């Protein structure tokens, strides 16, 4: 790696390590931390890699910095791998540009900031691409096997990983390297990836395939009715994710030089994974709302492809303009205080604020170790679990979108239950009358600053009826697919 690129990568990694230590956990981060307290073969929302990595990172400390170390390490290694792949495919100049594009994509900056399954997905997707390139071009067996291991870890990170296999498979079928398909090593590679993914299959088999069905319906299910609004949402989301300058430049080069991208073996190696992943989510985005982060893996090979065409066409203004725009976008996200007239709805940082202060206050209601802690959503339950003094486990009994908390209800059924404290809304507290004879409001905890106002109501619950122990069937609720609402 060139000296300038090394300094840039180190500086961005160090900056994010320092910044992350000052920011409370986002509800999703707290949720994945809760997963690490219940290690399983897989989880309802996603495969288990994020839980395993958080568990490893928090072996010594469970601080916010330790949890987010997963994100920083994953993104830094992925950036280094992308640089090395670009250098092997083309040259150091293209590698330098590719690193700049990748590091200054808003999605990458968000990946450094918040711990989600996308962090290990991006890491192992990059590693799989790198190992697959070396396997195909150099033909050494070890690179096939390493590609299989990394590919399995990609699937173990997020189901989206299957699109990388589809892209690489189409590349092999459409190129002169189709002879690789006659080598036994390629099938050992796929077998190794499948074996590594087996825990997710086993978990789903034990739970009525609920995670597979959920993800299929969440991404591609429902009636196929085209709506222009959904398409606009998808394009706008991708522009914010990759950066408008980078995205539209990449699409321009992809379309303008479509045949050249497929004709040259090296650009085709990058183009097929980008095309399949982007097109898959574009198709889904024609008929229903899609999340902006879903298509992010497409831009791993897309960043190198964009760097190649910028250098070839001598369009350096593209990455200059893109970098400056991302710096402004990141400043808006990380330092909204600098912009006094910024509308509240544009302050992304507000999603992190308030929970820490509220649940630290709430500690006075959870001092009794026999008290059961309840909440009304995976967001509130996870933040409470992390920030309440002593970090007592939190449970959910009230109706809400299905989450791993439904699968953990069995732990509650094993305990002798007496009183409980509930943190949530008044409406959800009323649902507790199904389980408790007395549900009494005892406090209202508030947090307010210039960007956000939060209020969590506190209820004392007593006299749990015996019939609750027989009505708590988490497997039934988990299998009730119709109750799923709007997961991430």
Distances (CA, A) of 169 to 123, 136, 152, 174, 190: 20, 12, 15, 9, 11
The reply to whether 373 and 403 lie within a common domain is yes
Confidence of residue 279 (pLDDT cuts 50, 70, 90): very high
pLDDT higher than 70, residue 427: yes
Distances (CA, A) of 221 to 201, 210, 287, 342: 21, 14, 9, 37
Q: What is the tens place of the pLDDT at every residue in 106-129?
A: 999 999 999 999 999 999 999 999
The reply to whether 405 and 258 lie within a common domain is no
The reply to whether 305 and 333 lie within a common domain is yes
The reply to whether 281 and 306 lie within a common domain is yes
In a domain, 373, yes or no: yes
Confidence of residue 435 (pLDDT cuts 50, 70, 90): confident
Q: What is the tens place of the pLDDT at every residue in 264-273?
A: 999 999 999 9
Closest alpha carbon to 18 in 57, 62, 72: 72
In a domain, 50, yes or no: yes
The reply to whether 159 and 274 lie within a common domain is yes
How many domains in the chain? 2
The reply to whether 368 and 329 lie within a common domain is no
Last residue of a domain, one of 303, 338, 373: 338
The reply to whether 191 and 319 lie within a common domain is yes
Confidence of residue 409 (pLDDT cuts 50, 70, 90): confident
Quote the mean pLDDT of the chain: 88
What pLDDT does residue 218 have? 66
In a domain, 244, yes or no: yes
The reply to whether 17 and 151 lie within a common domain is yes
- Residues contacting residue 284 through CB under 8 Å, at least 6 positions apart: 219, 220, 290
The reply to whether 363 and 333 lie within a common domain is no
In a domain, 343, yes or no: no
Nearest-10 Cα torsion for 141, 144, 149, 153? 160
Percent of the chain with pLDDT over 90: 65
Confidence of residue 87 (pLDDT cuts 50, 70, 90): very high
Q: What mean pLDDT comes out for the span 320-325? A: 92
Q: What is the tens place of the pLDDT at every residue in 32-71?
A: 999 999 999 999 999 999 999 999 999 988 899 999 999 9
- Residues contacting residue 389 through CB under 8 Å, at least 6 positions apart: 360, 363, 366, 367
CA–CA separation, 414 and 410 (whole Å): 7
Domain that holds residue 370: 353-483
What pLDDT does residue 486 have? 38
The reply to whether 391 and 288 lie within a common domain is no
pLDDT higher than 60, residue 294: yes
In a domain, 345, yes or no: no
Which of helix, strand or coil describes residue 400?
A: coil
In a domain, 86, yes or no: yes
What pLDDT does residue 474 have? 40
Are the C-beta atoms of 80 and 281 separated by less than 8 Å? no
The reply to whether 27 and 110 lie within a common domain is yes
In a domain, 346, yes or no: no
What are the residue ranges of helices labelled H in 431-471? 467-471
pTM for the whole thing?
Answer: 0.90
Pairing of strands 420-424, 438-448: unpaired
The reply to whether 311 and 361 lie within a common domain is no
Closest alpha carbon to 256 in 322, 315, 324: 315
Are the C-beta atoms of 98 and 307 separated by less than 8 Å? yes
Tokens 């999340």 found at: 291
In a domain, 15, yes or no: yes
Six token digits for residue 268 = 């085709």
Last residue of a domain, one of 281, 307, 338: 338
Q: What is the tens place of the pLDDT at every residue in 234-251?
A: 899 999 999 999 999 999
CA–CA separation, 455 and 425 (whole Å): 8
């Amino acid at each position: 790696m060139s000296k300038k690129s090394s300094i840039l990568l180190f500086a961005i990694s160090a900056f994010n390590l320092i910044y992350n230590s000052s920011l409370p956990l986002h509800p999703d981060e707290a949720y994945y931390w809760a997963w690490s307290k219940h290690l399983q073969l897989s989880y309802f929302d996603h495969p288990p890699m994020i839980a395993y990595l958080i568990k490893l990172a928090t072996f010594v400390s469970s601080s916010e910095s330790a949890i987010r170390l997963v994100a920083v390490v994953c993104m830094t290694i992925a950036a280094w791998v992308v640089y090395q792949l670009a250098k092997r495919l083309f040259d150091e100049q293209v590698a330098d540009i590719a690193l700049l594009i990748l590091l200054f994509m808003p999605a990458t900056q968000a990946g450094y900031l918040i711990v989600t399954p996308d962090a290990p997905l991006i890491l192992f997707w990059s590693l799989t691409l790198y190992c697959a390139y070396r396997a195909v071009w150099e033909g050494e067996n070890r690179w096939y096997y390493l590609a299989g291991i990394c590919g399995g870890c990609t699937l173990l990170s997020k189901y989206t990983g299957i699109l990388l296999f589809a892209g690489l498979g189409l590349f092999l079928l459409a190129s002169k390297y189709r002879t690789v398909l006659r080598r036994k090593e390629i099938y050992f590679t796929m077998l190794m990836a499948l074996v590594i993914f087996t825990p997710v299959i086993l978990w789903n088999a034990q739970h009525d395939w609920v995670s597979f069905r959920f993800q299929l319906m969440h991404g591609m299910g429902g009636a196929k009715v085209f709506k222009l609004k959904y398409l606009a949402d998808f394009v706008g989301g991708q522009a914010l994710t990759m950066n408008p300058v980078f995205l539209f430049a990449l699409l321009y080069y992809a379309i303008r030089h479509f045949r050249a991208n497929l004709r040259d073996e090296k650009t085709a190696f990058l183009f097929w994974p980008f095309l399949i992943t982007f097109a898959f989510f574009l198709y889904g985005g024609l008929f229903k709302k899609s999340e902006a982060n879903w298509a992010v893996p497409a831009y791993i090979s897309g960043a190198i492809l964009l760097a190649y065409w910028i250098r070839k066409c001598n369009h350096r203004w593209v990455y200059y303009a893109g970098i400056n725009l991302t710096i402004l976008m990141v400043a808006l996200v990380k330092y909204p205080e600098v912009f006094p007239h910024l509308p509240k709805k544009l302050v992304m940082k507000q999603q992190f604020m308030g929970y820490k202060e509220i649940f630290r206050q709430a500690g006075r209601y959870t001092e009794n170790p026999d008290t059961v802690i309840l909440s009304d959503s995976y967001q509130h339950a996870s933040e409470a679990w992390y920030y309440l003094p002593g970090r007592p486990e939190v449970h959910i009994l009230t109706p809400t979108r299905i989450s791993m908390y439904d699968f953990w209800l069995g732990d509650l059924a094993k305990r002798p239950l007496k009183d409980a404290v509930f943190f949530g809304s008044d409406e959800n507290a009323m649902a507790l009358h199904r389980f408790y004879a007395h549900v009494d409001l005892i406090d209202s905890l508030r947090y307010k600053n210039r960007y956000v106002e939060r209020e969590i109501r506190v209820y004392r619950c007593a006299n749990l009826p015996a019939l609750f122990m027989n009505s708590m069937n988490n497997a039934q609720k988990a299998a009730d697919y119709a109750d799923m609402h709007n997961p991430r």
